[in-house]
Amino acid sequence: LQAYCEKRMVLSFFSGRGCMSYNFPASYAWGNFSILAVGIWAIVQRDSLDAIMMFLSGLLLTVLTDIIHISVFYPTKNYLTDLKRFTLGMAILSLLLKPVSCYFVYQMYRERGGE
């Protein structure tokens, strides 16, 4: 469980770096950081299946919304600065690591007695 918590904190680091240059609307930050809060709740309440299920469904939903945000708000080549390029890279890296996080959360769900 501790190794998973460390991996989740790394993922939240990437999500936070994706919010640095205001490439995305506020809904990107609200979605990712609210799921981080639900994840902390799921880790603290070790016997709750509802918390881990909400966390898993929220992660899956943010995968979809991150794809939409990145595809819609990706700037054109003329407007790419180094900061925007870095934040877009961190947002894409966060998106690529979310399925791995979903797998670990699903394993936690199974360990807690989920079907």
Q: Reduce the DSSP state of residue 4 to 3 states and report it.
A: helix
Provide the CB-side half-sphere exposure for 42 (13 A, CA): 28
Please state, in angstroms and rounded to a whole number, the distance separating the CA atoms of residues 55 and 38. 6
4-57 residue pLDDT tens: 554 555 555 555 555 666 677 878 888 888 888 888 888 888 888 888 899 999
The span from the CA of 6 to the CA of 34, in Å, is: 18
Q: What is the pTM of this model?
A: 0.78
pLDDT band of 94, cuts 50, 70, 90:
confident
User: Which residue matches tokens 């989920």?
Assistant: 114
Model confidence pLDDT, tens digit, residues 42-87:
888 888 888 889 999 999 999 999 899 888 888 777 878 887 888 8
Q: How far apart are CA 80 and CA 95, in angstroms?
A: 20
Q: What is the dihedral of CA 61, 65, 66, 70, to 10 degrees?
A: 170
